[in-house]
């Protein structure tokens, strides 16, 4: 493969992977607990983060770039899915890392994204009513929060596994 194209692909892959993984950790371990801690101002902060700063679009863009550039790199590194490469040390490492990143991507794009959007819409509905949530709204919010927590945990574990594999697979010669 053309060396210049490979360098560009690796740059895109590593940079978008850093942005995706770093942002996921920052949101989960710093933004989320802080939003909970500030109480009434929390939903307002989240609305600004999501609607004005378009955080979900950033996450989707970074993850799509990582997965697409990673897929192309995988195709070239494996010589077009060559079985001998896939069974080699680096092949096994990059394959496990790629599968983990793909699962993380699916949970992020189809779990975290839509669930957060539904929570935001329900929160706005409750705020617009001017009263507290009805029992049905409170139960729905709790169910959505549970689903979000599971998706976030799976996403984090998969991303951590992908980072571990991507960072070390090249040297799996044992």
Provide the 3-class DSSP secondary structure of residue 133.
Answer: coil
Q: Which stretch binds ligand HEM (CB under 6 A): 52-60, 71-79, 111-119, 124-132?
A: 71-79
- Residues whose CB is less than 8 angstroms from the CB of residue 52 and which lie 6 or more positions away in sequence, other chains included: none
10 binds ligand HEM (CB under 6 A): yes
Asked if 56 and 63 touch (Cβ cutoff 8 Å), the reply is no
- Of 31 and 102, nearer to ligand HEM (C-beta) is 102
Q: How far is the CB of 99 from ligand HEM (least distance, A)?
A: 8
SS3 174: coil
Nearest-5° angle of CA 6, CA 11, CA 13? 90
Q: Does 66 bind ligand HEM (CB under 6 A)?
A: yes
Burial class (CB in 10 A: 0-12, 13-18, 19+), 62: buried
Q: Quick one: which of 59, 77, 108, 116 contacts ligand HEM (CB under 6 A)? A: 77
Applying CB under 6 A, the span of 8-16, 54-62, 121-129, 140-148 interacting with ligand HEM comes to 8-16
**Interaction site with ligand HEM (CB under 6 A):** 10, 13-14, 17, 20-21, 66-67, 70-71, 73-74, 77, 94, 97-98, 101-102, 162-163, 166-167, 170
């Amino acid at each position: 493969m053309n060396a210049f194209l490979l360098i560009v692909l690796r740059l895109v892959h590593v940079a978008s992977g850093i942005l995706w993984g770093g942002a996921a950790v920052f949101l989960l371990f710093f933004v989320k607990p802080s939003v909970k801690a500030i109480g009434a101002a929390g939903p307002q902060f989240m609305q600004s983060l999501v609607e004005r700063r378009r955080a979900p679009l950033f996450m989707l863009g970074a993850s799509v770039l990582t997965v697409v550039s990673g897929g192309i790199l995988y195709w070239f590194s494996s010589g077009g899915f060559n079985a001998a490469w896939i069974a080699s040390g680096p092949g096994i490492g990059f394959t496990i890392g790629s599968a983990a990143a793909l699962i993380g991507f699916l949970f992020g794009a189809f779990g975290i994204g839509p669930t957060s959007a539904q929570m935001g819409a329900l929160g706005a509905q409750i705020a617009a009513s001017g009263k507290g949530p009805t029992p049905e709204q409170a139960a729905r919010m709790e169910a959505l929060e549970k689903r979000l927590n599971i998706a976030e945990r799976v996403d984090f574990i998969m991303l951590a596994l992908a980072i571990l594999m991507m960072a070390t697979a090249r040297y799996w010669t044992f």
